């Protein structure tokens, strides 16, 4: 375990000295804040409209479900674009700079290497996800008590974190397949994009095909979390992606020694 922490520390040091982490934070916050303002403005406008036209509708309007839930959904989509940059360096760069030999010739196991790198990317991801907390905090500072349903906020953040954790697991594996960070980022992006659009294909179908295709879509599994529902099948979905990503990265590091 100490070896794992040594690798986590080194990776975090690199995330912050190369300022990759800061860029990722900045871009993620910038885009989520853009969506937040848009969704909030839309929400305000519908309140005004409803209060004039259909006052009875007002009791159904609720900030958490109509602003935060779509915001979380959007944040999930943004992750598709941000996650590849978080993971592209992890193994590809070590191979290119020949530092991978340093890890292979010291008493650390391939699994410790994979786990250490993965945990470091999770730390950066966690900070990034927690930055989203600023929106409900802002609103609760100005709105009346009870406007923000905090339990829903936290399940939503948990959902985004799990989704991001699946994306980084996939990204780390892809990063182990090439020596080029650009190729790693691009391939990861393609895979994540596929995991998103497969849900659209699901919507075009009916019956079993629809079930399977939407079931495969990484983004569809966030809907429950965004509404404050933790469903076992969503947890199982993300857990399997994370498990598979780590497993394949481990195998990939093993085979790297043979080349």
Partner 1 sequence: MIEVTNLVKRYRDLVAVDGISFKVEKGEVLGFLGPNGAGKTTTMRILTGASPATSGKALVAGFDVFEQPLEVKRRVGYLPEQPPLYDDLDTRSYLQFVARIKGLRGEKQKNEIERVIAACNLESVRRRRLGELSKGFRQRVGLAQALLGDPEVLILDEPTIGLDPNQIVEVRTLIQKLAEKHTVILSTHYLPEVIQLCKRVVIVHRGRIAANDTLENLTAGGRSLEQTFYDLTQQ
Residue with tokens 């290497």: 113
Instruction: Tell me: does residue 179 bind partner 1 (CB under 8 A).
Output: no
Task: Show the tokens assigned to 214.
Answer: 């939407």
Q: To the nearest 10°, the Cα dihedral for 23, 139, 57, 156? A: 50
Instruction: Tell me: does residue 255 bind partner 1 (CB under 8 A).
Output: no
Instruction: Tell me: does residue 91 bind partner 1 (CB under 8 A).
Output: no
Q: Mark the segment that binds partner 1 (CB under 8 A) among 1-9, 122-130, 142-150, 181-189.
A: 1-9
Task: Show the tokens assigned to 169.
Answer: 């697991």
- As measured in angstroms, the least distance from the Cβ of 183 to partner 1 is 20
Instruction: Tell me: does residue 107 bind partner 1 (CB under 8 A).
Output: yes
Instruction: Lay out the site mask for partner 1 across 12-51 (x = CB under 8 A, - = otherwise).
Output: -xx--xx---------------------------------
Cβ contacts of 134 within 8 Å, gap of 6 or more: 29
Instruction: Tell me: does residue 80 bind partner 1 (CB under 8 A).
Output: no
Instruction: At 18, give phi and psi (nearest 5°).
Output: -85, -5
- As measured in angstroms, the least distance from the Cβ of 17 to partner 1 is 5
Instruction: Tell me: does residue 54 bind partner 1 (CB under 8 A).
Output: no
Binding-site residue total for partner 1 (CB under 8 A)? 26
Nearest to 164 by CA among 134, 131, 139, 137: 131
- As measured in angstroms, the least distance from the Cβ of 112 to partner 1 is 9
- As measured in angstroms, the least distance from the Cβ of 42 to partner 1 is 43
Residue whose CB is less far from partner 1, 18 or 240 = 18
Spatial contact of 249 and 173, defined as CB atoms under 8 Å apart: yes
- As measured in angstroms, the least distance from the Cβ of 102 to partner 1 is 4
Count other C-beta atoms under 10 Å from residue 51's C-beta: 12
Q: Exposed (0-12), middle (13-18) or buried (19+): which is 81, by Cβ within 10 Å?
A: middle
Instruction: Tell me: does residue 109 bind partner 1 (CB under 8 A).
Output: yes
Residue whose CB is less far from partner 1, 104 or 201 = 104
HEC profile of 129-174: HHHCCHHHHHHHHHCCCCCCCHHHHHHHHHHHHHHHHHHHHHHHHH
Among 59, 105, 208, 232, which residue interacts with partner 1 (rule: CB under 8 A)?
105
Could you list the residues that contact partner 1 (CB under 8 A)? 2-3, 6-7, 9-10, 13-14, 17-18, 97-109, 257-259
């Amino acid at each position: 375990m100490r070896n794992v922490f040594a690798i986590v520390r080194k990776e975090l040091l690199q995330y912050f000295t190369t300022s990759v982490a800061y860029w990722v934070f900045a871009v993620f916050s910038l885009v989520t804040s853009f969506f937040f303002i848009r969704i909030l403005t839309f929400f305000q406008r519908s309140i005004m409209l409803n209060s004039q036209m259909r006052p009875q509708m007002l009791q159904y309007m609720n900030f958490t479900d109509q602003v935060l839930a779509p915001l979380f959904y959007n944040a999930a989509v943004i992750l598709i674009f941000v996650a590849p940059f978080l993971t592209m360096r992890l193994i590809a760069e070590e191979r290119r700079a020949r530092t991978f030999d340093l890890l292979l010739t010291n008493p650390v196991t391939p699994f410790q290497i994979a786990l250490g790198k993965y945990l470091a990317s999770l730390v950066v991801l966690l900070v990034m996800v927690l930055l989203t907390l600023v929106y409900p905090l802002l609103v609760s500072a100005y709105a009346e008590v009870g406007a923000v349903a905090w339990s829903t906020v936290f399940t939503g953040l948990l959902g985004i974190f799990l989704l991001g954790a699946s994306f980084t697991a996939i990204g780390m594996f892809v990063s182990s397949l090439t020596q080029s960070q650009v190729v790693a980022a691009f391939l990861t992006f393609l895979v994540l994009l596929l995991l998103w659009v497969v849900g659209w294909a699901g919507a075009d179908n009916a019956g079993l095909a629809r079930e399977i295709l939407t079931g495969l879509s990484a983004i569809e599994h966030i809907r429950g979390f965004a509404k404050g529902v933790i469903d076992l099948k969503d947890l199982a979905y993300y857990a399997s992606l994370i498990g598979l990503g780590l497993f394949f990265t481990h195998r990939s590091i093993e085979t790297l020694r043979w080349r």
